[in-house]
Amino acid sequence: MDLCRDQSRLAMLTALVPLCSIAVTPDLTDCAVKNAAVVVRVPGEFGHPANCFMQAQAFLAATSIAQELGSDDRVKIVCRAHVQAKD
């Protein structure tokens, strides 16, 4: 589907934050939603990748999860596009 030509739909981004252990995924590039110990979904939808990443960072920093990360824990921010109907 060509989103530029279909004005009845808008591509929005959802931020997911997988938290992985270096014992399971020593390389951070291998940390993914499917193998994370915990996945946090950031509330809201974002229209721009930079905004998605900044909001996810701020959201995670404000949670108790960020305060409880161990030395072997790693986080990764993933912004995924999804299509929603335009109002």
Q: What's the per-residue H, E or C state across 7-25? A: CCEEEEEEEEEEEEECCCC
Sequence ranges of the domains in the chain: 9-85
Q: Model pTM? A: 0.77
pLDDT above 90 covers a percentage of the chain that reads 71
Higher pLDDT pick, 34 / 84 = 34
Higher pLDDT pick, 29 / 9 = 29
Tell me how far apart the alpha carbons of residues 69 and 31 are, in angstroms, rounded to a whole number.
15
Cross-strand bridge partners of residue 85:
9
Q: 33-54, pLDDT tens digit by residue?
A: 999 999 999 999 999 999 999 9
